[in-house]
Amino acid sequence: MFNKLQQEQRDLDASYRQSLQNKKERETRDQDQASGDMGKGTIYCKAKKCNNHLYGWTSSLDARYCIDCLG
């Protein structure tokens, strides 16, 4: 009986640590997105003189460029 309680306590600890870990990873990811203007998931036109965001503006010829550059 006592061992079972200990086991449950360990399981609780493990899931608590896991949720803390998940929270930390989520916060780190949020900070990355907030600080990195060219970070992952943010897609801008690859043309050197072009800063167009590709969201809803992607060239049908090449997804790395915007419609302005490769329309």
Give every CB contact of residue 19 below 8 A, 6+ residues apart in sequence: none
Q: Does 14 bind Zn ion (CB under 5 A)?
A: no
Q: Shortest distance, CB of residue 48 to Zn ion, whole angstroms?
A: 9
Q: Does 66 bind Zn ion (CB under 5 A)?
A: yes
Q: Does 61 bind Zn ion (CB under 5 A)?
A: no
Give every CB contact of residue 48 below 8 A, 6+ residues apart in sequence: none
Report the distance separating Cα 35 and Cα 52, nearest Å: 19
Report the distance separating Cα 13 and Cα 61, nearest Å: 53
Among 54, 57, 64, 69, binds Zn ion (CB under 5 A): 69
Sole window of 6-14, 15-23, 27-35, 49-57 interacting with Zn ion (rule: CB under 5 A):
49-57
Residues that bind Zn ion (CB under 5 A): 45, 47, 50, 52, 66, 68-69
